[in-house]
Amino acid sequence: MNVLGVDASLSDMDGAKAAIEALEKFFYETLGLKSRLSDLGIDDKNFALMAKKACGAKGKLEGITALTPNDVEKIFRMCL
């Protein structure tokens, strides 16, 4: 199956990289979406609160690696 013009014969890793590149092009070039929080007028003044709320009552986001509010705040800062 051909999705986003990605060659189905690529290895899993190469296919994943090509799909990410195709999605980036679609989101940011075709649709004109913004890629940085600062492009949307968002600054860091509420990041600590946002991170705490994102982690909820358990105080962490579960996934491959559990993320604490501090981890989430760092991710938000990387998105500025």
pLDDT at 75: 97
What pLDDT shows up at residue 30? 96
Q: What is the pLDDT of residue 16?
A: 93
Predicted local confidence at residue 10, as pLDDT: 92
Domain that holds residue 52: 37-78
CA distance 9 to 24: 21
Are 26 and 41 members of one domain?
A: no
Q: Distance between CA 7 and CA 17 in Å, rounded?
A: 11
Q: What is the pLDDT of residues 14-66, one digit of tens each?
A: 999 999 999 999 999 999 999 999 999 999 999 999 999 999 999 999 999 99
Residues 16 and 44 in one domain: no
* One domain for residues 7 and 26: yes
Same domain, 28 and 47: no
Both 70 and 45 in one domain: the answer is yes
